[in-house]
Amino acid sequence: MSAPAHLYPKDIVTRSARLDLSDDYDLYYEESGLGDGVPVLSIHGGPGAGLDPGARCFHDPHHYRLIQYDQRGAGASQPSGDVRLNTTPLLIADIERLRQHLGIERWILSGGSWGTTLALAYAQAHPERCLALVLRGVFLGTREEMHWVNQGMRVLFPLEWQRCVEGLSLAEQEHLHSTMHRRVFGADRDLAVDAARRLAKFEWLCASMSPDGAAIDAELTPEFALSYSRLVCHYVMGDFFLDPDQLIRDLHKVHHLPAYIVQGRCDWVCPPWSAVRLHQAWPGSRLALLPLTGHMASEPAIAAELLRTMEELKTRFPADRFASSKPRTTT
């Protein structure tokens, strides 16, 4: 199955800027689409993966005002890979500060993987600021999900697992993120980069139905891999800075919001049971459980469903409801 032919362009950015935060952090963000269109915040995964230009493909630039950003410590946000002040409550506060900075009253939240976790956490903290949620590859930040990542994926991907843990003792393998946490934050940079690339590559190879190993290797530069894996390990070791089952416990706070859940049935990084659980706990939510489909937004079935969802939301949220007196601009 090929990707839908009418995806929107992904290579045009209207504006990019930085938002200064406290304690020497800043937030890099980009805008594309209609300056006074329906606001959409695209929340990237990881933690630490950085914004995905491909997300622009699902948003009509003549209808949506798409905001993408790198979470603190991720991507082009500075300082890169820093975890001194990096928790889920702080990421929620960053989103709210970005909203205020951009003068947006309410927006659609669109997140993938860890981005679904953060979107849900923000929406539960600020439901009055949300129009709807579009969630792809649901992750609820629970220990049960991380147990699967550490214990289940190795069974489905034994060769990839063996390359990831080569040289590690059985005890170190049983507590993979704890082991890698020590290494990626260690003083030996070569050892840290090697551990970071191994951990990230294992996850990324498992995330796609047809992974491109060469492309993954090219993307996992030492700088990116180290930043990414430090943030991942920091959040895993902190239980994602959420109370146990917090996102399901507090779901009543957002029951009134439209929710669109897009999930690959063969998503082995964020298995479908979390998406089904979220859907069953959220009255009126819509679940698209896609056969023969993995985790990545670029997979044809997921891309088609995300595009269909955002096209449907154009009717639900007309652009003229958000128009201001300033001139209307498009990409």
Annotated catalytic residues are: 113, 267, 295
Per the listing, tokens 């929107």 go with 8
For residue 209, count CB atoms less than 10 angstroms from its CB and return exposed for 0-12, middle for 13-18, buried for 19 or more: middle
Dist. CA 293–CA 312, nearest whole Å: 22
Cβ proximity of 287 and 275 under 8 Å: yes
Confirm if 231 and 169 have CB atoms less than 8 A apart: no
The encoded tokens of residue 71 equal 């979470």
Could you identify the residue written with the tokens 């985790």?
Answer: 295
CA 255, CA 110: separation in Å to the nearest integer? 17
| CB hemisphere CA count around 63 (13 angstroms) | 16
Q: Give the Cα separation of 231 and 72 in Å (integer).
A: 10
Burial class for 273, CB neighbours closer than 10 Å (0-12, 13-18, 19+): middle
Token pair in block for residue 80 = 């890169």
